[in-house]
Amino acid sequence: MLEYLLTGSHYVDCLGRVCLRLTFDVGEVEGLKRLACNDRLESLGFVVNLESGEVRDSLRETGYVAKVEFEVLQVLLAHYAKSDPVELSRKLVKFADLPGGRAYEGAFLKRAVQPIADSFGDKPERLPKCAKRLNGFALTYCDYSVEIPALPHLPLTIILWQQSEFPATATLLFDHSASTYLPTEDLAVLGELTTARLLHLSGIDSRRKLDP
């Protein structure tokens, strides 16, 4: 059952539970605490204790984090820790408008955007309900839209046009400040992780590989 656990990345707590532990250097821990304004960082239902590195998945009863998600979090948070908080611009941009984004746009649309249209297009009312579980909230753009805090200071906006006489379509937008926190290839992975978490909440196991 726990064959996915990485060597040196897990321990058994006082209740006998196997827990995963992310590994950060001192500078990364300080950076994450500065960004989270807390000793605990929450991201898309993952809860990271920045003192111990312990990470749990609040969306699963067991709390266990899947191997691929663990690896993605380790890389994303290590990169994110090197940034400094800036004020949100409140100017939304497409992935293609991020630095170098056009080179990744096709893959991003296929892996992070189209699954939202496919999964929520016929029952769009599920989108704000699922987003709420990720500490997101509904917006008023188009048919359905939500803002989800993928990381502290780094929200993603999802807009959905529901299925009618035409197939459902969706878009995923970033605040213009997003590139301050992560390079474009990491933002692509963050968008895909956000979509995977929404699909999980919607009862759909996407089972797609998330490249760290």
Q: What is the CATH number of the domain that holds 152?
A: 3.30.310
Q: Is the pLDDT of residue 7 over 80?
A: no
pLDDT in tens, 15-37: 445 578 899 999 999 999 999 99
Q: If you search the block for the tokens 């950060």, which residue do you land on?
A: 24
Regarding whether 118 and 69 lie in a shared domain, the answer is: no
Regarding whether 196 and 101 lie in a shared domain, the answer is: yes
The residue among 2, 66, 92, 106 whose CA lies nearest residue 212 is 66
Cα–Cα distance for residue pair 191/156, rounded to 1 Å: 8
pLDDT of residue 13: 45
What is the mean predicted confidence (pLDDT) over 164-183? 94
| Contact assessment for residue 198 and residue 135, using Cβ atoms and an 8 Å cutoff | no
Q: Is the pLDDT of residue 12 over 50?
A: no
Query: If residue 69 lies in a helix (H) or strand (E), which one and from where to where?
Result: helix 67-80
Regarding whether 129 and 74 lie in a shared domain, the answer is: no
pLDDT of residue 9: 60
Confidence of residue 165 (pLDDT cuts 50, 70, 90): confident
Residue-number span of the structural domain to which 169 is assigned: 92-201
Give a yes or no: residue 163 inside a domain: yes
Regarding whether 194 and 113 lie in a shared domain, the answer is: yes
**Number of structural domains found in the chain:** 2
Regarding whether 195 and 125 lie in a shared domain, the answer is: yes
Regarding whether 62 and 19 lie in a shared domain, the answer is: yes
Give a yes or no: residue 55 inside a domain: yes
Confidence of residue 42 (pLDDT cuts 50, 70, 90): very high
Cα–Cα distance for residue pair 102/52, rounded to 1 Å: 39
Regarding whether 69 and 15 lie in a shared domain, the answer is: yes
Regarding whether 177 and 144 lie in a shared domain, the answer is: yes
Q: Which of 39, 55, 80 is the last residue of a domain?
A: 80
Give a yes or no: residue 131 inside a domain: yes
